[in-house]
Amino acid sequence: MQGLSRYRSTFFIVLLLSLSVFVLTKCTGKDKKAPAGAKTANVTGANIGSTSCAGCHADIYNKHIKTAHFLSSRPATEESVMGSFAEGKNTYAYTPLLKILMHKTDSGLYQSVYYKGERKKDIRFDIVTGSGSKGQTYLYWQGNKLFQMPISYFTAAAQWSNSPGFPSDRVMFDKPITTRCLECHATAAGLLSEPDVKHEEFNRDQLVFGIDCEKCHGGGEKHVSFHTANPAEKTGKYIINQANLSRQQQLDMCRLCHDGSIKKITPSFSFKPGDNLSDHFTTDSMSATSVGNDNIDVHGNQFGLLKSSKCFTQSTMTCNTCHNSHENERGNLALFSQRCVSCHKEEHKTIPGLSAAQASSITANCIDCHMPSKPSRTLTLFLNQQETPAVAFVRSHYISNYPEEVKKYIESLAKKK
């Protein structure tokens, strides 16, 4: 299988280079079990921006702008940067002699390096990545190149921290931001240089912040001009609705960014809604048998974990079974639990260790016992003057039985009384 899909992938790169995208999407659409009416990328038009959707889809638009997706990259402003610029809270010290001060002036927000009390270098916050549920990392422009700033923000500790993966004893300025980073955190990048050179260059005016409508639905130009001209038409045209795609295509749309193990074989931003992921990435994510409760990193790999769960292998669920992409539902565990119960109506009249009265409370929270938050191995960073790294917790999508979590849950119930 593997060899075959590699071969196919290479074949498609050649096709991509020599033929039009139109031909490509026609070919890839053929072997799909997509329901009748499935649409692929060739139906959509150019990107025109999400504000153009607001007029006719106001309800979706107004909710979507509050999601982590939409807020995942933004211009840096006093409002979007979560860290404090107040004296006493605005310093990160690498060593007693080497520190960075976060401060603001009339021309913007800055990270300034001080060595032995002397100011050596200023870099300006230009872009925020991260809605901030776990943290934020900041980017700055140098000409047409983008770099990651040395200091990030870690929400769980409510303070500035060393950027993830950065050295803890010196300041690093030269970590380039790649198209792949922007592919996951933005809608469009406007690449100026050749793709995948060491320092890719971008057109600032063509960077479209956030993960927006057109990232998942395809460019809206034809759709909007058609419906503007035909206001009586009640069937959506020239746009992709995930609900009409095959299970695999729906999963592929989310895996583009939520499958930690894929590796690209076409330039970033080649994948379009409705495409097959395997035409753009090697998709041999880890095997189901290697997944245990603790032996794999949960960061960014919701797909790999979910795919190993019985819920997934014994049903036709997709990410969209539990997630509504248009709404910020973070923290609403009762709502997510209702989605479990839509398939699991009968389970759990009892749980060993719980009284019948206690057991009745669990219907509002299937999540903490079966999808516990686990420490990420990649979202680790150093807080000011700490020698051991702090770790962000991520929900495991390996839906299973976790005896330790059950114990914790039962103890927390006992405490509440």
Site for ligand HEC in 63-92 (CB under 6 A): 64, 68-69, 72
Query: Of 21 and 410, which CB lies nearer to ligand HEC in the complex structure?
Result: 410
Query: Of 116 and 198, which CB lies nearer to ligand HEC in the complex structure?
Result: 198
Among 16, 27, 60, 265, binds ligand HEC (CB under 6 A): 60
The strand pairing partners of 153, in sequence order, are 136, 160
Among 105, 287, 315, 360, binds ligand HEC (CB under 6 A): 315
Among 113, 297, 328, 372, binds ligand HEC (CB under 6 A): 328
Note whether 342 binds ligand HEC by CB under 6 A: yes
Note whether 308 binds ligand HEC by CB under 6 A: no
State the binding string over 13-52 for ligand HEC (x if CB under 6 A, else -).
Answer: -----------------------------------x-x-x
Stretch that binds ligand HEC, among 87-95, 118-126, 277-285, 403-411 (CB under 6 A): 403-411
Note whether 224 binds ligand HEC by CB under 6 A: yes
Note whether 95 binds ligand HEC by CB under 6 A: no
Stretch that binds ligand HEC, among 78-86, 87-95, 288-296, 334-342 (CB under 6 A): 334-342
State the binding string over 173-192 for ligand HEC (x if CB under 6 A, else -).
Answer: ----x--xx--xx-------
Query: How many residues belong to the site for ligand HEC (CB under 6 A)?
Result: 102
Interface with ligand HEC in residues 376-395 (CB under 6 A): 394-395
Interface with ligand HEC in residues 134-153 (CB under 6 A): 134-137, 148
State the binding string over 105-134 for ligand HEC (x if CB under 6 A, else -).
Answer: ------------------------xxxxxx
Note whether 265 binds ligand HEC by CB under 6 A: no
Query: Of 258 and 280, which CB lies nearer to ligand HEC in the complex structure?
Result: 258
Note whether 369 binds ligand HEC by CB under 6 A: yes
